[in-house]
Amino acid sequence: MDDVLTIGQLAQRAGIGVSAIRFYEQKGLIDGPPRNKSGYRLYSQKMVERVRFIKNCRDLGFPLRSVAELLKLCYPDNSEIECPVVQDRIQKQHELVLKQFEELNRQRAKLERLLDACPNGNNGQGCDFIQIMLD
């Protein structure tokens, strides 16, 4: 019985919540496991690696569709990983993150301008808030 995990044990070892595991099952990223006589889901130890892989992809911002593609590319049965295809997916995600970073920097700069727009709480006198918001 040491070679199987309950959903709670899997969640703990993978560093995610039980609801995330159920969500991954619902979306087809992991297979629903067999159940014991008491109805508990029993996961293999190997599932920890797969769930961590999914979690790390999600932490990098990959959408579920891309995670599913990466799983197929990186966990094929008896074949080599298709590095050029994986690299392409990574490159696309990198470009998306760069665009998001640029947008966040624009937002940060505008917020800093807004903070400076009404210095010393001057009750709106000399405040450029509205003009900055319209820019």
pLDDT digits (tens, 9 = 90+) for 36-67: 888 888 999 999 999 999 999 999 999 999 99
pTM of the complete model: 0.77
Let me know whether 58 and 105 are in one domain: no
pLDDT score for 38: 84
pLDDT at res. 43: 93
The closest of 36, 70, 41 to 53, measured between CA atoms, is 70
* pLDDT less than 70: residues of the chain: 1-2, 76-79, 119-127
Structural domain contains residue 132: yes
The per-residue pLDDT for 121 is 57
Q: Is residue 72 part of a domain?
A: no
CATH code for the domain of 33? 1.10.1660.10
Q: 1 and 58, same structural domain?
A: yes
CA–CA dist 28, 65 (Å, integer):
10
Instruction: Note whether 87 and 123 are same-domain residues.
Output: yes
Q: Whole-angstrom Cα distance, residue 15 to residue 51?
A: 9
Torsion of CA 10, 11, 14, 17, to 10 degrees: 170
Residues 133 and 90 in one domain: yes
Pairwise CA distance, residues 134 & 124, whole Å: 16
Asked whether residue 69 is assigned to any structural domain, the reply reads no
User: Total structural domains in the chain?
Assistant: 2
Residue 50 lies in a domain: yes
- 131 touches 113 (CB < 8 A): no
Strand pairing report for 43-44 and 4-5: antiparallel
Confirm if 122 and 106 have CB atoms less than 8 A apart: no
Full domain range(s) for residue 6: 1-63
Residues 58 and 110 both lie in one domain: no
Report if residue 71 sits inside a domain: no
